[in-house]
Amino acid sequence: MPSRAPRERVLLVDSQDESRRAVQLLLQGCGMEVRAFASAAAAMAEATLDQIRTLLIARDLVDGDAIHLLRQLAQRGWQGRAILIGQSHAELDDAARAAGFAHVVKKPVGRIELLGALAR
Amino acid sequence: MNFPLPQFETPAPVALRDRMRQRAPEALATLLLLVSGLALAPLVSRGERYVLVGVLLAWAAAILLLASYSRALRRRLRAEEADARRRADRADELAAELNLLIDGAVGYAIYTVDPLGRVSFWNEGARRLKGWGEEEVLGRDMALFYPPSAVAAGKPRADLDAALRDGKFEDEDWRLRKDGSEFLAQVLITPLLGPDGRLRGFGKVIRDITEQRASERQATAAANHLRSILATVLDAMVIIDERGNILSFSAAAERLFGYAEDEVVGANVSLLMPAGDGARHDGYIRHYLDTGERRIIGTGRTVTARRRDGTTFPIELSVGEAITEGERVFTGFIRDLSDKQRAEQRIEELRSGLIHAARVSAMGTMASTLAHELNQPITAVVNYVRGVANLVEASDAQDLPMIREALDDTAQEALRAGTIVRRLREFVARGEVEKSVEHIPDLVDEACKLALIGAREKGVAAEFRFDPHAGPVLVDRIQIQQVLINLMRNAIEAMAEMPERRLAISSRVESPGFVRVTVADTGPGVAPAVAEDLFRAFHSTKADGMGLGLSICRTIVEANGGRIWLEPREGGGSCFHFTLVHVEEGNSP
Question: B364 pLDDT band (50/70/90 cuts)?
Answer: low
- Same domain? For B163 and B247 the reply is no
Residue A50 in contact with partner chain B when CB distance is under 8 A: no
Lowest mean pLDDT among A44-48, B61-65, B219-223, B535-539: B535-539
Residue A19 in contact with partner chain B when CB distance is under 8 A: no
Residue range B507-518: mean pLDDT, rounded = 91
* Chain A, nearest residue to B216 by Cα: A29
- Same domain? For B252 and B396 the reply is no
Report yes or no: B171 and B187 within 8 Å, Cβ to Cβ: yes
Report yes or no: A21 and A39 within 8 Å, Cβ to Cβ: no
Q: Residue B374: CB partners within 8 Å, gap ≥ 6?
A: B417, B420, B421
- Same domain? For B346 and B319 the reply is no
The number of C-alpha atoms within 13 Å of A20 and in the hemisphere containing its C-beta is 27
- Same domain? For B86 and B157 the reply is no
CATH code, domain with B584: 3.30.565.10
- Same domain? For B146 and B85 the reply is no
* A37 with B180: Cβ contact below 8 A: yes
Using the predicted structure, report yes or no on whether residue B373 has a pLDDT greater than 70.
no
Query: Distance (Å) from the C-alpha of residue B209 to the closest C-alpha of chain A?
Result: 10
Q: Which of B336, B355, B386 is the endpoint of a domain?
A: B336
Residue range B17-45: mean pLDDT, rounded = 79
Task: List pLDDT tens digits, range B86-138.
Answer: 999 988 888 788 777 777 777 789 999 999 999 999 988 899 899 999 999 99
Three-class SS of residue B555?
helix
Report yes or no: B522 and B572 within 8 Å, Cβ to Cβ: yes
CATH code, domain with B182: 3.30.450.20
Rounded CA gap, B469 and B475, in Å? 17
Contacts of B155 in chain A (CB under 8 A): none
Query: Distance (Å) from the C-alpha of residue B227 to the closest C-alpha of chain A?
Result: 16
Nearest CA to B253 out of B334, B322, B318 is that of B334
Rounded CA gap, B42 and B49, in Å? 8
* Chain A, nearest residue to B221 by Cα: A111
Report yes or no: A71 and A97 within 8 Å, Cβ to Cβ: no
Task: List pLDDT tens digits, range B289-326.
Answer: 888 887 777 777 888 899 999 998 988 888 888 876 67
Predicted confidence at residue B275, as pLDDT, reads 82
Rounded CA gap, B298 and B308, in Å? 27
Rounded CA gap, B322 and A75, in Å? 48
- Residues facing B111 on adjacent strands: B122, B204
Lowest mean pLDDT among B140-149, B257-266, B296-305: B296-305
Burial of residue B550 (CB within 10 Å: 0-12, 13-18, 19+) is buried
* Chain B, nearest residue to A25 by Cα: B214
Residue A62 in contact with partner chain B when CB distance is under 8 A: no
In a domain, B564, yes or no: yes
* Chain B, nearest residue to A47 by Cα: B179
Contacts of A29 in chain B (CB under 8 A): 214-219, 221
* Chain B, nearest residue to A32 by Cα: B211
Percent of chain B exceeding pLDDT 70 equals 87
Rounded CA gap, B488 and B471, in Å? 22
Nearest CA to A113 out of A28, A27, A38 is that of A27
Left (φ > 0), alpha (ψ -120 to 50) or beta: where does B385 sit? alpha
In a domain, B243, yes or no: yes
Predicted confidence at residue B372, as pLDDT, reads 55
CB atoms within 10 A of CB B350: 12
Residue range B72-80: mean pLDDT, rounded = 90
Query: Distance (Å) from the C-alpha of residue B247 to the closest C-alpha of chain A?
Result: 25
The number of C-alpha atoms within 13 Å of B258 and in the hemisphere containing its C-beta is 11
Three-class SS of residue B176?
strand
In a domain, B239, yes or no: yes
Three-state SS annotation for A44-98: HCCCCHHHEEEEEEECEECCEEHHHHHHHHHHCCCCCEEEEEECCHHHCCHHHHH
Rounded CA gap, B238 and B585, in Å? 52
Using the predicted structure, report yes or no on whether residue B5 has a pLDDT greater than 50.
no
- Same domain? For B332 and B348 the reply is no
In a domain, B224, yes or no: no
Residue A22 in contact with partner chain B when CB distance is under 8 A: no
Mean pLDDT of chain B: 83
Rounded CA gap, B574 and B572, in Å? 7
Q: Which of B53, B75, B101 is the endpoint of a domain?
A: B101
Nearest CA to B360 out of B132, B91, B546 is that of B546
Predicted confidence at residue B2, as pLDDT, reads 37
Nearest to B181 among A27, A35, A41 (CB): A35
Task: List pLDDT tens digits, range A17-72.
Answer: 999 999 999 999 888 899 999 999 999 988 888 899 999 999 999 999 999 999 99
Query: Distance (Å) from the C-alpha of residue A94 to the closest C-alpha of chain B?
Result: 30
Compute the Cα dihedral for B445, B446, B450, B451 and give only its sign: negative
- Same domain? For B329 and B357 the reply is no
- Same domain? For B120 and B79 the reply is no
DSSP B580: E
Report yes or no: B546 and B540 within 8 Å, Cβ to Cβ: yes
Task: List pLDDT tens digits, range A71-81.
Answer: 999 999 999 99
DSSP string covering B492-531: HHHTTT-S--EEEEEEEE-STTEEEEEEE--S----HHHH
In a domain, B202, yes or no: yes
* Chain B, nearest residue to A12 by Cα: B181
* B215 with A28: Cβ contact below 8 A: yes
Helix (H) or strand (E) holding B199: strand B199-208
- Residues facing B566 on adjacent strands: B576
Nearest to B180 among A25, A34, A42 (CB): A42
* A20 with B182: Cβ contact below 8 A: yes
Predicted confidence at residue B77, as pLDDT, reads 92
Terminal CA-to-CA distance of chain B, rounded, Å? 88
Helices within B105-154 (DSSP H only): 124-130, 134-137, 148-152
Q: Which carries the bigger pLDDT value, residue B374 or residue B588?
A: B374
In a domain, B225, yes or no: no
What number does CATH give the domain A9-119? 3.40.50.2300
In a domain, B3, yes or no: no
In a domain, B227, yes or no: no
Q: Which of B47, B81, B101 is the endpoint of a domain?
A: B101
Using the predicted structure, report yes or no on whether residue A1 has a pLDDT greater than 90.
no
Nearest to A25 among B147, B181, B217 (CB): B217
Query: Pairing between strand B312-324 and B199-208?
Result: unpaired
Contacts of A25 in chain B (CB under 8 A): 184, 210, 213-214, 217
The number of C-alpha atoms within 13 Å of A35 and in the hemisphere containing its C-beta is 24
A-B interface: how many C-beta pairs under 8 angstroms?
52
Report yes or no: B460 and B492 within 8 Å, Cβ to Cβ: yes
What pTM did the predictor assign? Answer: 0.48
Task: List pLDDT tens digits, range A94-112.
Answer: 888 988 998 899 888 888 8
Nearest CA to B101 out of B133, B124, B118 is that of B124
Residue span of the structural domain in which B564 resides: 435-589
Predicted interface score ipTM higher than 0.90: no
Nearest to B181 among A17, A26, A36 (CB): A36
* B211 with A37: Cβ contact below 8 A: no
Contacts of B219 in chain A (CB under 8 A): 29
Give chain B's domain count. 5
CATH code, domain with B360: 1.10.287
Question: B432 pLDDT band (50/70/90 cuts)?
Answer: low
Q: Which carries the bigger pLDDT value, residue B555 or residue B439?
A: B439
Terminal CA-to-CA distance of chain A, rounded, Å? 32
